[in-house]
Chain A
Amino acid sequence: GAVVSQHPSWVICKSGTSVKIECRSLDFQATTMFWYRQFPKQSLMLMATSNEGSKATYEQGVEKDKFLINHASLTLSTLTVTSAHPEDSSFYICSASKPGTEGTEAFFGQGTRLTVV
């Protein structure tokens, strides 16, 4: 397998502030990482695809100016929630793709629970 680490695992912030979430691939290089959002008791919704060295590709309906994604190295992608509001409270999960002998497999971080108060 492979390890993807997400930090922090939970964060509480005040409305109007910004929060940065890190996603690291610990034992492999990931040219592509993905950011998902999960509301309580719901499925994961893809927010954006993070590509190392280039701009992220956002899914329809996701505000790219609000959810800033940076993939500066092959092992680190960051998601910054800018000017957070209570409706941004959610569980954010990243995944990193690792090529394998049978195709590419996605490995997930442990998730970050964001609460905006």
Chain B
Amino acid sequence: AQSVTQLDSQVPVFEEAPVELRCNYSSSVSVYLFWYVQYPNQGLQLLLKYLSGSTLVESINGFEAEFNKSQTSFHLRKPSVHISDTAEYFCAVSHQGAQKLVFGQGTRLTINP
């Protein structure tokens, strides 16, 4: 069975400060890893994903995440956040070849001016 742990339920940061949202997973098989963002009362939007290849993946809005197999982690980072980044962020994992996603508990990112 797979599981995902997001260690921080809430992360408050000041605008233009760097941020890291932590995600650890457990799985006995190879996995795909995802970060999704959810704005209030909306569905989920894919932020970035790791399927294979380079362990560092980037999104178009400045976020990046690094797959670390030895530490079973997929932490999300951004060097300088904006007010518009305020949202709930979910880390998720799926089996390679499967389609079901297992989600972490979510991290609420709050940006203060």
Contact = CB atoms under 8 A, between A and B. Distances in A.
A110 B100 contact: no
Contact of A44 (B42, B96, B103): B103
Interface string A91-117: 101010100001111111111010000
B63 interface: no
Interface stretch (B12-20, B21-29, B46-54, B79-87): B46-54
Which DSSP category, helix, strand, loop or mixed, fits chain A's interface? strand
Contact of B51 (A95, A103, A108, A110): A103
Interface string B21-60: 0000000000010001000011111100101100000000
Contact of A32 (B36, B44, B99): B99
A34 interface: yes
Given A97-B99, A106-B101, A111 B41 contact: yes
Task: Give the interface size bracket for A toward B.
Answer: 20 to 34
A46 interface: yes
Contacts of B100: 34, 46, 49
A54 interface: no
A4 B42 CA distance: 12
Nearest to B97: A103
Contacts of A97: 99
Contacts of B46: 105-107
Given A106-B46, A106-B101, 6 more contacts: A42-B106, A43-B103, A44-B90, A105-B46, A105-B49, A107-B46
